[in-house]
Structure formats: structure tokens, C-alpha cells
Amino acid sequence: MNLARMRNGFLVLSGLGLGALGSYACSDSNDDGPQDSSTEDGSLAADGFTEDGGELLDAGKIGDATDVSDSSEIEDAGDAGDAGDAAPWHTVLGQNFSVNDVLTTPSGLTYLVGARSVAGVLRGVVVRLLANGQLDVSFGVAGYADVVLSQTTANQPMRGILQANGQLVMIGVVYSSPWDLVMTRLDGAGSIDATFGTSGVTRMHAGVGNDLPFGIAPGPLGGSIFTGLAFGATNFQSEIVVGRVDANGGLDATFDGDGMALTSIGGTNGGRGIGLLSQDRVLVAAQSENVDEMLLLRFTTAGALDPTFSAGQDAGGKVIPAGARILRFASASSCSPDGLHKDGSGKWVIYGNGSVPGADAGTTRSAMVAARVDEDGVLDPTFHNGGGPFYLTPTGSSKAYSFASQAGGRAILAGGVYEGPLAPFDSTKYWPGFVALDTSGNRDVAALLQGFYVPHAYPGSDGLVAALPNGHFVAVVSKASAVEAFEMVP
């Protein structure tokens, strides 16, 4: 099961449950509920929910599985391969690890950022695949690079970015007391770059209690920007943390005086996605318990909330500060973001989940939600009718955790689908979910299986996705002790 994901309203981290950071609302009804406006009738074909992906395999949408857990099976590991017109690849990685992020390069390399247990202690690991899906044995040890963010305490990288020179910068967490934010950088061979931070690691602490990172993006002058949450004395109150690190891994003191800015709107708050705007301003997708809707915040290059972004709003009696803006949708409420993505139009897709009506009066369920905004936070009416939900199941709930797009505008929204009871949570009823989007942000019924792919063969796993340079996508899921990555043709 993927670490650092929402499960039944709780954040699961190495078996630890924290207080609710968002609701996973479900209905036990059998009603189809409101339908996706991107189709004429919103109906779902029965074959949109497949046990093993056979239909996609037969249609040439995904590749057949190849086990590369033993690197000796790789015939030509040194050749990055030509994606060209080759059949889609499908790779089974037999080592027991969990993937938190997926990144790709213009040459077609794929990086899987995650963690595995080493002698009973959680440690970071990065796996690199060649353009043909085979393990890149020139990276780390036989394709696996261990990422030790602390020598004495459990830790894992959560998100990453690739720099122009091929180096991988990651932000993660060290489970000390309290938890710390930590960053590192790997070179092209998979070794920690000792020139970054202190001996290759930058360790930070923003709040009184535990800190958690959720987003990272390229910053000015080769640096990085990040966001997450900083808990107070308890796990029921937290602030949005936004930070900036220079190219050498040091906190940039020109950003809010010490490199990190903290913002609270009351209750539990957290930054979920981040991006760099023009004039080195920073856009953050965030959630707040008090507002209970998607929030956008814009910071100046100096690390202060930008009052030109908004004058502040009254959200049902909850006043949000200048520099913050609420996103609302007519077809979904209580929306919570999970990430921010800059697409080929230069605008920003914000994605996550929202609450939609269930079949019975007073019941709700969760649905994937996506919208697109410009640098001023204005919703784009040409993208998914101004934003709203996608339905991957007629009876259960879904959440979006990952988004990837091609330059032409086609995209994949990925996450999880749950068709079990609200309580107790049943991981065998939780599966990866993928939605193909057309250039208008609506479900692309000509792609995948009428725009959907919910592989029931991978219970307890989320779906993650990244764009490949050949116009395809790489999708990542987990099954028991194996991680599977496969090329997905939209």
C-alpha cells in the first residue's frame, strides 16, 4: 500500500494514523448519483472496470508484464531504447517498496521515488527505468538507489523534481520527535550529492509539532520551493508551510526572513501543491478545516501573502486573509486539493476530491475533482466546464492524487477508488483509478476504456501517473510485495 495517502479520512504513514486532514465521504447506496458532465449521459460501461487490464492489453493500450526484479534478466540494460512505435511496456519490480512520486525526463527515463524497509527501518529508495521500461542498472545498485535521509531514524522522500542537469531533488520526512522536513539531491548515477546542504542533506523544522511535506517545484536560480503542513502541539491544529531553498540546498533567508513562511486560517491547514509563477511569485494549493473548500494562496517573492491576488473573502463567516482565494464548484462541495500541475497552456490544474450527493437524503460520497486557473486564480471556463467532479464508480468514492499532461493538452488524472463501507475501511475494496482527459479537461471517451481504467487486480493501491515524451504516460500501481509500472496509451 502506498505510504502517505489518505485512507478513510486518515493519513497513513508507516502504519501511523493521524487526525483527519480531509473527509473520505462514502455512501452505501447503489444509485449512480450525479454523472460526469463530460459525456452525453454520464453512463459507465461495464467494461470500464476490469480485473486485470485484459481489454487494455488487447487494444494495445498497456504492455504485457515483464518481470525485471532480477537485473540479470535485462538483455540490454545500457540501451535507453527507442519508445518510437514499440509496443507499450509493462514492468514488474519484485522488491518490496512503496512509491510516493513518479517523474520522467525528456529522454524517456522514469524515476520512482519511494521507500522500503531496511533491517526493519523505513528508508528512502529511488528506482530508475529506461525508456523501454527496463531497470537502468547503471543507476544506484542494479537500478535501485538507497536514499538515507537519517542514519538513525526512519525516513522517506515524498516528492521530487528533476533539474535540467539530470539531478533529482527530493523533499521528505524524518520521523524524529517531532518529525522534520528534509531535502536531498541525487546525481545522475544515483548517489547523494554531498555539495547539497550539509553532506548532501538539508534538515528543517517549521512548526512546534510534526512537519510533513506534500509538494515541491523548481524555484528561482536553480533552487526549489516546497509546501506542506506544520502541526502545533497536537495533530488537530496545523499551519500551511511554504519554503524556498537555494541551489546549494540552503534555506533562502530572503523568503520571509528565514526561508519558510507559516500561514494559518484556523484548525487544520496544509499546503498540498506548489508552483513558481512569473516574477518569482509562488502559487500554493491548500486546504483548511475552517474553510472546507479548495484554497489558492499566492506569495510574493519575499514570502508574504500577495494582497493583489485577492482582498480576502468571507467564507460563510470564516474570513480568509488577503492573498488567499477560495475555489467553489456548483457540482461538488467540501473540496480538498492534493496537487498543482502546470500544463501546456501555461495555466495551473488543481486536483483533488470533493463531496457529491449520495443516493439517500443526507448521504455523500467523494469524487475526483479538477479545475484549471491562471496566475491570478481565475477559473478557466473552458476546462471541464469551469471545474468539477469525475465519477469512476457508480456506487463508491474516488480521490485524485496525481495528474500528468502532454503538451497538446491530453491528460491523465490518477488516484484511488473505494467501493467498501465507510467504517471500518476495507483495503480490499480500494483500487487504483485513472481518468483520461481530452484537451478541454473532460473525460475522453475515446481513450482507455471509455475514458476510465480501474484495475481491480491491485487492491490497496493508489494509481500514480507521469507523462512520457512519446505522447504516452507511465502509470504506477502496487500489488502485494510488487510495484508495477506500465506504459499507458491514451
Q: Does the structure show a pLDDT above 50 at 112?
A: yes
Predicted local distance difference test score (pLDDT) of residue 35: 34
Banded model confidence at residue 14, pLDDT cuts 50, 70, 90: very low
Domains in the chain: ranges and CATH: 5-488 (2.130.10.10)
Exposure pattern of 11-46 as b/e (b: 16+ CB <10 Å)? bbbeeeebebbbbbbbbebeeebbbbebeeeeebee
User: Quick one: CA dihedral 210, 215, 217, 219, positive or negative?
Assistant: negative
β-sheet bridge partners, residue 486:
90, 475
pLDDT of 19-68, one tens digit each? Answer: 222 322 222 222 333 333 333 333 333 333 444 567 788 788 888 888 88
pLDDT of 171-200, one tens digit each? Answer: 999 999 999 999 999 999 999 999 999 999
β-sheet bridge partners, residue 404:
412
Mean pLDDT score, 88-110: 92
Contact 180, 157 (CB under 8 A): no
pTM assigned to the model: 0.88
- Whether residue 424 has a cis bond before it, omega within 30° of 0: yes
What radius of gyration, in Å, describes the C-alpha atoms of the chain? Answer: 21
Predicted local distance difference test score (pLDDT) of residue 85: 60
| Distance, CA of 473 to CA of 136 (rounded, Å) | 18
Grid cell of 257 as nine digits: 526572513
pLDDT of 250-306, one tens digit each? Answer: 999 999 999 999 998 877 899 999 999 999 999 999 998 888 889 999 999 999 999
Predicted local distance difference test score (pLDDT) of residue 317: 66
